[in-house]
Amino acid sequence: MTDETATAKKAAVLDEVLHQATPPEVVESALRVVGRDRLALVSSFGTESAALLKVMADVDPTIPVIFLDTGWLFEETLSYRNTLIERLGLRDVRSVKPLEETLQRQDADKELWFSDPDACCRIRKVEPLKRALAPFDAWISGRKRFQGGLRAAMPVVEADGDRLKFNPFATISPAEIEAIYAAAELPWHPLVASGFRSVGCMPCTSRTLPGEDARGGRWRGRSKTECGIHTVTPA
């Protein structure tokens, strides 16, 4: 049996057990199954990120948090990251950047986002995440089924190559996220007030229009809906 096959079987068993678990229960189970030293949470510090980070911090604020600093992020996102680190008492936030030599070789004119957005995401997000996840056996994501697209049918626990991926917010509703913010008096991402319901890199993010799903402003006018970190195995 290969490592990936074994991980897939383990993920299926865990998903069966946790498919109705609360977000804190999923995080607690991930810690028990994997151990603190082998588990990381990946966060964009985006428009809804504070809710999952709050849940994680209440369970264990020392769990490593990986933040992909692509070089194209809004200043508001970088400021929000710093605010949440202090507000939630996060102990181990790791900001990971693309390799400068890769940028110089493949995106020296900084126009790759326009000509080939998939390649831009690969060198600025997928490859850095691969490096950052190297020490870990499992990771936690903040994806939700209500975001639609490829996310609509995702499990609570899945295999990501030979790693486990836990999705504590898979079954959560927008109202439940708002309740977490309200109960903890969490600040919203500064761009939410300006009509951004999902925030990624500046060139590929626009305001969400009335009637669109939350991610409607990402890669507007293109068929692209994901950056690749959830559709390309980083192992």
Q: Tell me which residues are annotated as active site.
A: 227
> Is 124:70 a contact under the CB 8 Å cutoff?
yes
Which residues are paired to 205 by β-bridges?
A: 218
Burial (CB < 10 A; 0-12, 13-18, 19+), residue 95, is middle
Query: Which value, to the nearest 10 degrees, does the dihedral of the CA atoms of residues 162, 163, 165, 166 take?
Result: 120
| Residue 171: both structure tokens together | 């079954």
Question: What whole-number distance in Å separates Cα of residue 15 and Cα of residue 59?
Answer: 20
| Residue 221: both structure tokens together | 């006018």
Question: What whole-number distance in Å separates Cα of residue 154 and Cα of residue 230?
Answer: 11
Q: What are the backbone angles phi and psi of residue 84, rounded to the nearest 5°?
A: -70, -35
For helices 3-18 and 23-34, the axis angle rounded to 10 degrees is 150
Task: Check residue 172 and give left, alpha or beta (phi > 0: left; psi -120 to 50: alpha).
Answer: beta
Which residues are paired to 163 by β-bridges?
A: 160
> Is 228:125 a contact under the CB 8 Å cutoff?
yes
